[in-house]
A = this chain, B = another copy of it.
Amino acid sequence: MTDVSITRLSAAQADFDDALSRLLAWDDSVDHQVNESVRHILHEVRTRGDQAVLEFTARFDQVDAAAVSELEVSQERLQQALAAIPVDQRDALEKAADRVRDYHQRQMQSSWQYEEADGTVLGQKVTPLDRAGLYVPGGKAAYPSSVLMNAIPAKVAGVAEVIMVVPTPGGTVNEMVLAAAAIAGVDRVFTIGGAQAVAALAYGTDTIPHVDKIVGPGNIYVATAKREVFGTVGIDMIAGPSEILVICDGETDPDWIAMDLFSQAEHDEQAQSILICPNAEYLDRVENSIRNLLPTMERAEIIATSLNSRAALIDVADLSEAARVSNRIAPEHLELSVADPQALVEEIRHAGAIFMGRYTAEALGDYCAGPNHVLPTSGTARFSSPLGVYDFQKRSSIIGFSAHGASEMGKIASVLARGEGLTAHARSAEYRIEGSAEQGGVE
């Protein structure tokens, strides 16, 4: 059941590019039936509000309530959870929260403006969103760390109201999730989930206020719903399965690397773990460690399926070639398990998070290093970033012309507007040109 046979690739093989493409290929095509179902749910919640939320919650989560207000979790209940969890867990959550808060405060962007010689003022005003929605999965695995990672950046940004939704299938509540919400300063919590929760946050209902942006991971229904409501609200990203790429120089304890690969593979069967090393013999040793350690793992079957279907051990000529392959992959998590990570990181262009050196296990980043664990997957690190404070701030351009500045700029704008055939634009600008025929002046 837990036999492993991991794909071996060599960057030197003739078909390496194609083989790597096949390995990375991830079917993100939208399932037609999921789509239809999600659209139906969105439509129902948009038009029937609370009543639709109650019906879907009864149907999908087997939770019956007479009113959505019954599904709200009070601040007292959150504090109760915080008081009830084991003290070591509470300590760990609080320490993690402190570190996450400290790191994220450094991401704050501020307004700026400058004045030109003629008194023209240009700038950018930075403001927080009014309200953010945070989706937290229930079901299979509940992740209190997700609550911290999603809510803290929003609160650091200054979002006035963070509204969390978390399904409680069959009524099962995760106390650590509620405790994390208390620590992170979540303002309101509703025990709803699925596409109906996304719809409620996007459109608002009588009981649940609409938000400006929805963040947080979820299953295919949640992801599809987020994609559909994108535009009505902001969304963070559509996450694929989790991945780790380890570049190792062949000098780290192979058991450590095996366990680091496991730590992604245990997330789910589609998670991807890749090791790149310029030493083929070391790849053998890691594979041995994998075989030895696997039977000792609680989630051995998930790990085995993930490793057999999506993992790879890749042999390269040197660390520079490893970096090139890594840039091609643009991994979510990148471990540089090498003697001189500082030198190697210079060659890395695309990665969600980079873990420097042998001691920096990816798992530390998942919980308490400080940086966010919500990271771009499936190669999207080519164009996107970890979740951050910047996701909860937005900018407004500031433009203020003096009378003279407006007159000078008006001449340029007039030429360009007439070049584009937009006469009202041109005349609007021309009114502000000093001494122009159009100019009436300020009354």
Listed in ascending order, the chain A residues whose CB lies under 8 Å from chain B are 28, 88-89, 91-93, 95-96, 103, 106-107, 112, 114, 121-122, 124-125, 127, 129-130, 141-145, 176, 212-213, 227, 230-234, 238, 251-253, 255-256, 259-260, 262-263, 265-267, 297-299, 303, 341, 345, 348-372, 375-376, 378, 380-386, 388, 390, 394-403, 405-406, 409-410, 412-413, 415-417, 419-429, 431-432, 440-443
24 contacts between A and B (CB under 8 A): A91-B415, A92-B412, A92-B419, A95-B412, A129-B382, A212-B382, A262-B428, A266-B423, A299-B422, A303-B424, A354-B397, A355-B400, A356-B399, A359-B432, A361-B410, A361-B431, A363-B426, A363-B428, A364-B399, A367-B429, A368-B412, A384-B394, A385-B395, A386-B395
Bound-complex Cα distance A56 to B375 (A): 37
Known: A253-B441, A255-B440, A262-B428. A396 touches B354 (CB 8 A): yes
Contact partner of A89 among B256, B265, B415, B428, CB < 8 A? B415
Residues of B within 8 A of A141 (CB): 420-422
Q: A251-B443, A354-B399, A367-B416 are in contact. List 16 more A-B contacts (CB 8 A).
A: A92-B415, A125-B354, A144-B420, A212-B382, A212-B383, A298-B421, A350-B394, A350-B396, A352-B397, A353-B396, A353-B399, A354-B398, A356-B399, A356-B400, A369-B401, A371-B397
**Complexed CA–CA distance, A434 and B426 (Å):** 71
A403 to B359, CA, bound (A): 6
Which residues on B sit within 8 Å (CB–CB) of A88? 415
Cα–Cα, bound, A213→B330 (Å): 14
Question: In the complex, which residue of chain B has the Cβ closest to the Cβ of A413?
Answer: B367
Contacts of A230 in B (CB 8 A): 227, 230, 238
Rounded to whole angstroms, the CA-CA distance of A201 and B268 in the bound complex is 32
Main SS class of interface, A: mixed
Say whether, besides A357-B400, A396-B351, A367 and B28 are in contact (CB < 8 Å). Answer: no
Cα separation A28 to B228 with both chains bound (whole Å):
11
Q: What's the nearest-Cβ distance from chain B to residue A147, in Å? A: 11
Min C-beta distance of A400 to chain B, whole Å: 3
- Say whether, besides A213-B383, A231-B28, A361 and B406 are in contact (CB < 8 Å): yes
CB distance from A306 to the nearest CB of B (A): 11
Given A356-B399, A415-B88, A299 and B122 touching (CB < 8 A)? no
